[in-house]
Homo-oligomer: A and B are copies of this chain.
Amino acid sequence: MTLKELSDLLGLSPTTVSRALNGYPEVSEATRKKVAAAAHAHGYAPNTRARALATGRAMAIGHVIPISAKHEMVNPIFADFTAGAGEVYSRNGYDMLMSVVSDDDEEQAYRSFATKRNVDGLIIHAPSLNDQRIPFLNDLGLPYVVHGRSSNATAPYAWVDVNNTRAFQRATELLLDLGHQRIALLNGLEHMDFAARRRAGYEAALASRGVDPDPSLMFSGEMTEAQGHDLTRTLLARPDRPTAILVSSMIMAIGVRRGIEELGLTLGRDVSLITYDDDLSYFRNGSDIPVYTATRSSVREAGRRAAQMLIDIINGKDSPTELLLEAELTLGMSTGPARRG
A-B contact list, 11 entries, CB within 8 Å: A43-B115, A49-B49, A49-B53, A49-B117, A49-B118, A65-B86, A73-B282, A76-B76, A86-B100, A90-B101, A261-B261
Which A residues from 279 to 294 make CB contacts under 8 A with B? 280-284, 286-287, 291
Contact of A218 with B by CB under 8 A? no
Which A residues from 64 to 92 make CB contacts under 8 A with B? 65, 67, 71-76, 78-80, 82-83, 85-87, 89-90
Contact A282 B224 (CB under 8 A): yes
CB distance from A63 to the nearest CB of B (A): 8
Contact of A22 with B by CB under 8 A? no
Which A residues from 89 to 146 make CB contacts under 8 A with B? 89-90, 95-101, 111-112, 115-118
Candidates B73, B80, B258; contact of A74 at CB < 8 Å: B80
Candidates B43, B47, B79, B284; contact of A79 at CB < 8 Å: B79
Q: Which one of A45, A85, A230, A281 has the highest number of Cβ atoms from chain B below 10 Å of its Cβ?
A: A281
Contact A116 B47 (CB under 8 A): yes
User: Across the two chains, which residue of chain B brings its CB closest to A111?
Assistant: B43
Considering the chains assembled together, what is the distance between the CA atoms of A83 and B261 in angstroms?
34
Given contacts A49-B53, A96-B100, A116-B47, contact A282 B83 (CB under 8 A): no
User: Across the two chains, which residue of chain B brings its CB closest to A96?
Assistant: B98
Contact of A24 with B by CB under 8 A? no
User: Across the two chains, which residue of chain B brings its CB closest to A222?
Assistant: B282
- For residue A98, which residues in chain B have a CB less than 8 angstroms away from its CB? 82, 86, 95-98
**Count of chain A residues with a beta carbon within 8 Å of a chain B beta carbon:** 62
Contact A116 B46 (CB under 8 A): yes
Considering the chains assembled together, what is the distance between the CA atoms of A50 and B254 in angstroms?
50
User: Across the two chains, which residue of chain B brings its CB closest to A50?
Assistant: B53
Considering the chains assembled together, what is the distance between the CA atoms of A98 and B82 in angstroms?
9
Contact of A58 with B by CB under 8 A? yes
Q: Which one of A78, A100, A287, A291 has the highest number of Cβ atoms from chain B below 10 Å of its Cβ?
A: A100
Contact of A226 with B by CB under 8 A? yes
Given contacts A74-B281, A83-B74, A101-B90, contact A45 B254 (CB under 8 A): no
Contact of A15 with B by CB under 8 A? no
Contact A284 B226 (CB under 8 A): yes
User: Across the two chains, which residue of chain B brings its CB closest to A100?
Assistant: B86
Contact of A257 with B by CB under 8 A? yes
Q: Which one of A43, A58, A96 has the highest number of Cβ atoms from chain B below 10 Å of its Cβ?
A: A96
